[in-house]
């Protein structure tokens, strides 16, 4: 059993590791033009340096989740941090496109391991309000990373185009620190061989599609939680991808000024996430998520009518406040709904759904830009959040009536 001192130390390792999962792509955003020019590739090819790791996370996370169930979260966390640091830091030594792209695949593998291991560590080490607090801190770290890492990447990128890649190496000493401080926990299954063969204590077996669908059938709220996380990330990337375009329409064109709006979005999410466990003392998770959907609908709708630089801050702040409520709620619901002996597997799907939402966001909403302009994109996003709020509210009403 971990001591209180170990729990505190582990929490800070978890928080630091969580912000690295955001850093994986965010830190390179400001230097995409430099990558394009230095490597002599197109803008789209340079953009792959940011997005490739996300595709790897989607594919690798279920495998990592099964590994965590077999061996526990500590070793995948430590190994993932080392792989993350070496894969990301390899960009310091690479001077051509294909090897750099290959290093991003390695980074994606490390990120997938860190993401799922952090989630299961929180599930296993903390209970009750302590778990809610840890989930809030984890989401706050993600939001803070989204705010800070692009600024750091842009600043370090002024030294040399590949200098930001060196920041990834911070994961190596963090991995060594995790090895020294994170306690070894039992695997989800009492029998590692049984877990490897896919037999759970609750009679739900395997990791194939049919077995996952059987779990979804028995726990119908679980796929809705994944859908919520998918939608949250898709809407978040409406902000990331299209808000700079909206800002340019009101005369905000400086990359530094644009980054401040995105930083405000992350900072707002950090504020609400850090207060998450205390807010649960006044409202349940579904109420907080309903409030978040309302904040999203209002903020995204407001984005369609902003006309001043000052007014443009309100939509991103409202959206960020909602993110800080939805992300920890998602993780907590998965912990409550997933089979106890398959926490790694089902928590890994959070990463897969989240990164898929980020990837598909321009596909789902971007088709409106040529037809209705960037304001149409935000109107559609606001409508999506509003419909989700109505659906959740109706579900709560039916539940109360029954």
DSSP sequence for 29-98? GGGHHHHHHHHT--HHHHHHHHHHHHHHHHHHHHHHHHHHHHH-SHHHHHHHHHHHHHHHHGGGT--SHH
Q: Are residues 181 and 214 in the same domain?
A: no
At 150-190, the pLDDT tens digits run: 888 888 888 998 999 999 999 999 999 999 998 887 765 54
**170 domain-assigned:** yes
**196 domain-assigned:** no
Mean pLDDT over the full length of the chain: 88
C-alpha–C-alpha distance, residues 240 and 106, integer Å: 25
Q: Are residues 119 and 218 in the same domain?
A: no
State whether the Cα torsion 138-141-147-148 is positive or negative.
negative
Coil, helix or strand for 183? coil
Helices (H), 126-220: 128-156, 171-181, 192-197, 209-218
Domain span at residue 137 reads 7-185
Q: Are residues 99 and 236 in the same domain?
A: no
Per-residue confidence at 83, pLDDT binned at 50, 70, 90? very high
C-alpha–C-alpha distance, residues 32 and 46, integer Å: 6
**351 domain-assigned:** yes
Looking at residue 355, which CATH number applies to its domain?
A: 1.20.1250.20
At 124-157, the pLDDT tens digits run: 999 898 999 999 999 998 888 888 888 888 888 8
pTM of the predicted structure, to 2 decimals: 0.85
DSSP state of 184: P
Lowest pLDDT segment from 311-320, 362-371, 376-385 = 362-371
Q: Are residues 239 and 179 in the same domain?
A: no
**317 domain-assigned:** yes
Q: Return the structure tokens found at 213.
A: 């669908």
Q: Number of structural domains, the chain?
A: 2
């Amino acid at each position: 059993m971990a001591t209180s001192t170990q729990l505190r130390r582990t929490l800070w390792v978890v928080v630091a590791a969580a912000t690295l999962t955001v850093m994986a792509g965010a830190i390179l955003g400001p230097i995409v033009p430099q990558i394009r020019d230095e490597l002599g590739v197109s803008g789209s090819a340079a953009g792959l340096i940011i997005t490739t790791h996300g595709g790897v996370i989607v594919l690798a996370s279920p495998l990592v989740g099964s590994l965590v169930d077999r061996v526990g979260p500590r070793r995948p966390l430590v190994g993932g941090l080392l792989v993350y640091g070496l894969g990301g830091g390899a960009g310091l030594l690479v001077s051509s496109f294909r090897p750099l792209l290959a290093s991003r695949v390695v980074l994606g593998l490390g990120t997938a391991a860190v993401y799922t291991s952090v989630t299961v560590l929180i599930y296993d080490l903390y209970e009750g309000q302590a778990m809610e607090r840890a989930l809030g801190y984890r989401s706050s770290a993600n939001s803070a990373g989204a705010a800070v890492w692009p600024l750091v990447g842009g600043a370090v990128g002024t030294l040399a185009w590949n200098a930001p890649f060196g920041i990834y190496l911070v994961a190596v000493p963090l991995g060594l620190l995790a090895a020294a401080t994170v306690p070894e926990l039992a695997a989800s299954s009492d029998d590692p061989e049984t877990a490897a063969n896919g037999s759970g204590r609750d009679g739900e077996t395997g990791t194939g599609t049919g077995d996952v669908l059987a779990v979804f059938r028995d726990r119908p709220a679980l796929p809705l939680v994944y859908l919520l996380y998918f939608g949250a990330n898709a809407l978040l990337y409406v902000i990331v991808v299209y808000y700079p375009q909206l800002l340019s329409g009101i005369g905000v064109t400086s990359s530094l000024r644009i980054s401040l709006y995105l930083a405000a979005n992350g900072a707002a999410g950090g504020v609400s996430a850090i207060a998450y466990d205390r807010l649960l003392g006044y409202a349940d998770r579904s109420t907080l998520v309903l409030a978040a959907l309302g904040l999203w609908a209002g903020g995204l709708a407001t984005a369609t009518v902003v006309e001043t630089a000052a007014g443009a801050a309100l939509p991103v702040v409202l959206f960020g406040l909602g993110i800080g409520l939805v992300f920890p709620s998602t993780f907590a619901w998965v912990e409550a709904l997933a089979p106890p002996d398959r926490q790694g597997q089902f928590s890994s799907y959070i990463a897969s759904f989240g990164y898929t939402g980020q990837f598909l966001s321009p596909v789902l909403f971007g088709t409106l830009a040529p037809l209705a302009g960037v304001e149409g994109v935000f109107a559609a996003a606001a409508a999506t959040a509003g419909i989700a709020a109505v659906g959740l509210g109706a579900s709560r009403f039916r539940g109360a009536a029954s």
